[in-house]
Amino acid sequence: MQQRSPDAWANPADIDAVMAEELCEQLEKRARFSDQIEINDALIASLHARTGQNWLEVGCGTGVLCRQLAPSLLPDGSVTGVDASGEIISQAWDRVPSDGSIPNLRLQMADGSALPFPDGTFDGVFSARLLLHVPDPVAILREMARVVSERGTLVAMEWDFDSITVDVPDRDTTRAILHWRTDNKDGNNWIGRQLYRHVMDAGWQNVVVDPRVSVAHTEQTSLVQSLRKAATGARDEGAIDALTCEAWLESLDRALESGWFFASIVYFIVRGSP
Ligand SMILES: C[S@@+](CC[C@H](N)C(=O)[O-])C[C@H]1O[C@@H](n2cnc3c(N)ncnc32)[C@H](O)[C@@H]1O
């Protein structure tokens, strides 16, 4: 059965100003963790973007990736970020430096499945952490291929939550927590393994899948924060009991304190052409 679970990002039109601020703070906070910096760097490097090119990000959120990419396209190139939520676009504008250091960043509201650009507009089009939240990923991947130039580059990056490893002793509880989180939170967490099929379905050519293992050794990582939230979420919704949750979190603390902690998750960076 295809799993789609409660998801704050699933209905961008319903995001009001208060919710947008909260969600955007979370996105910006996540982007500051070392594991996210590493994977975002890997994604940006995989674009092979060059000065003078014009790029589009679909589902740009706060524009973290657009802001990172834009300076490398100067002086003549640009990056356009689109998002289906007008409130999120407004938050993204608030985060563009006012000192004029990123003059080539454009942000606008648009749905990824109906992009308001003519065929072949951009040298490159990418998305990241978007397709797990949408009901029809192929429609968006097709639109990405339509608006990129004939010799342009297409890139999509998604994680797969069932690819997580975490080195704590209690296997059954770890599996219970991860399976609960995969099937019950924040959209389709199997999108990573499905991405190749979706891009092929959307007609992408010359497709290369680049699986990147994101590794966490410390508390100050997005993955460890996700693991903590997964454990308490599983407890709150009855997938594990309170004592089991407490013991598991204590074992996570001990593993982190040992200095030898290891956890990982696979992100799939899929690259192709139209
Ligand atoms: C989790 S955020 C990811 C933001 C950014 N790509 C990043 O990696 O930080 C997903 C974003 O996709 C947007 N979104 C959801 N469905 C969309 C759609 N159909 N078209 C465009 N954007 C969409 C949401 O409003 C949200 O801002």
User: Which residue is closest in CA terms to ligand 1's atom 17?
Assistant: 84
Over residues 87-92, mean pLDDT: 97
Domain ranges for the chain, please list them: 12-273
Q: How far is the CA of 82 from the centre of ligand 1 (A)?
A: 8
Instruction: Locate the ligand 1 atom nearest the alpha carbon of residue 111 and give its number.
Output: 20
Q: How far is the CA of 173 from the centre of ligand 1 (A)?
A: 32
| SS3 assignment for 36-75 | HHHHHHHHHHHCCCCCCCEEEEECCCCCHHHHHHHHHHCC
**Digit-coded pLDDT (tens) for 53-63:** 999 999 999 99
Q: How far is the CA of 59 from the centre of ligand 1 (A)?
A: 3
pTM over 0.75: yes
Q: Within the chain, how many helices (H) and strands (E) appear?
A: 9, 7
Q: Is the CB of 152 under 6 A from ligand 1?
A: no
CATH topology of domain 12-273: Rossmann fold (3.40.50)
Q: How far is the CA of 14 from the centre of ligand 1 (A)?
A: 13
Residues in the chain: 274
Q: Cα dist. 85→11, 27, 62, 111, 149 in Å?
A: 9, 15, 11, 8, 26
* Inter-residue contact 85 to 12 (CB < 8 Å): yes
Please tell me the distance from the alpha carbon of residue 33 to that of residue 220, in angstroms, as a whole number.
6
Please tell me the distance from the alpha carbon of residue 82 to that of residue 112, in angstroms, as a whole number.
8
Instruction: Locate the ligand 1 atom nearest the alpha carbon of residue 112 and give its number.
Output: 20
**Digit-coded pLDDT (tens) for 181-218:** 999 998 999 999 999 999 999 999 999 999 999 999 99
